[in-house]
Amino acid sequence: MDLPSEVRRVKKPNGKCYYYWHPGRGTKREGKAIALGSDPESPEFWERIRGLRIASTKAPAGSIAWVVDLYRESEAFRSCAESTQASYAVHLNRFANPEGWGHLPAVSLEPRHVLVLRDSMKETPVMANQMLAVGGTLWSWAAPFGHLGRRPFNPFEVVPGLEIPDRGHVPWPVWAQEFVLAKGPADLVRMVRLGVMTCQRESDLVRMGPVHRDGCGIWCRPQKTRKKRRAFRVPLTTADALLLEQWAGEPILFENTRWKAPIARIHPDLYLFTPRAQAYTPDRLRARWTRWLETGTGTELCGKWRKWLATQVERYDWDIEPEEARGPTIHGLRGTGVLVRLNAGHDPQQVSNDIGMSLPMVQRYIRFRDQVEVAEAGRRRLKLVGTA
């Protein structure tokens, strides 16, 4: 593979190669080496190179690239979560590219320019709409500082987004929940129950523990938006609150074919943890779920899921390709929890306030309300607790 002259390859004693952005190496203008990773075939590798090339090009004052540079150094950008900064960077690099808009005066950008860029991305409507959102954020930030002239105008706000098919995470139907509750390993059973009762992302599920409990509620400050918002209290049913109280002093029994017997582990500070009683990271939790889906039982679940999804697509005309959905996702538990709360009689605004989810996102899940049965597992748990 041909690499740019600014990229240096370093081979380690173990044979693995790492790559560094190191322009001017061996000359007076040599700069600091910047790690690019070890996979030159990944899109992220080349996106990083693209961004570094743009950053090394001096932008004329008043140009779009100049505005982008100022925004990158601002508190508004730096206060965003790392994942948000990374997703923004894809579009900021696009705006600052000298081969595109980069050296154009920011005040001269018009809706027709934005429209052309949006239409060039019509094959990836999610990315196109994200571009509009990032551009709108950039222009809204720049206007009060006078970077856009005396009469600032936001061309991104007048260009409509593209229609996006419903290809998001599908809420789990009751049968999928019950399948995992009956046949899944104990830690994943906890994951399903915790995900449905709290409606939070993986990055927050792995951090939850007894310290966050507050009667029939649990406090959460989402990792993704923690720099912009405070903690909120997620109301829980009595049954779910009692379940969390039970977990606080109850070990998880882990099983593995390599072990002679199951191993009981406990972590006093967390509800979810690894077989070594260590905290999960979001990536490790997703990897754990993926590995289980590859087992015989997990494969059975995926087969049932694909058949069910194909039926749903045919019956309700969902814009979801069944072959693209391997099986239920952890993130889908958020939607399940939303539907459980809606079916319990809560209105969308209340659900939004209770779980810290935006109202548009709650409303997005409403389309599944009469098409996915999600509540039976919850009703059975309530009945069992009530008769205990």
Per-residue confidence (pLDDT) for residue 197, from 0 to 100 = 98
Secondary structure (DSSP) of 134-168: HHHHHHHHHGGGTTT-SS---TTTTSPPPP--S-S
Per-residue confidence (pLDDT) for residue 8, from 0 to 100 = 81
Class at the top of the CATH hierarchy for domain 57-164: mainly alpha
Evaluate whether 76 touches 141 at the Cβ level (below 8 Å): yes
Average pLDDT for runs of 10 along the chain of length 388: 78 86 70 81 81 71 92 90 86 89 92 95 90 95 91 92 75 96 96 98 96 96 78 96 94 90 94 95 94 96 93 83 74 95 93 92 87 63 41
Structure tokens belonging to residue 213: 């409990």
Per-residue confidence (pLDDT) for residue 37, from 0 to 100 = 82
When the candidates are 1.10.20, 1.20.58, 1.10.443, 1.10.8, the CATH number that belongs to 174-387 is 1.10.443
Listed residue (8, 23, 9) closest to 55, CA to CA = 23
Give the separation between CA 121 and CA 71, rounded to whole angstroms: 24
Per-residue confidence (pLDDT) for residue 371, from 0 to 100 = 87
Domains 57-164 and 174-387 share a fold: no
Per-residue confidence (pLDDT) for residue 385, from 0 to 100 = 41
Per-residue confidence (pLDDT) for residue 378, from 0 to 100 = 45
Secondary structure (DSSP) of 317-378: --S--GGG--S--STHHHHHHHHHHHHTT--HHHHHHHHT--HHHHHHHHTTTTT----HHH
**Residue found by looking up tokens 């990271």 in the block:** 281
The domains of the chain are located at 1-42, 57-164, 174-387
Per-residue confidence (pLDDT) for residue 164, from 0 to 100 = 72
Per-residue confidence (pLDDT) for residue 384, from 0 to 100 = 39
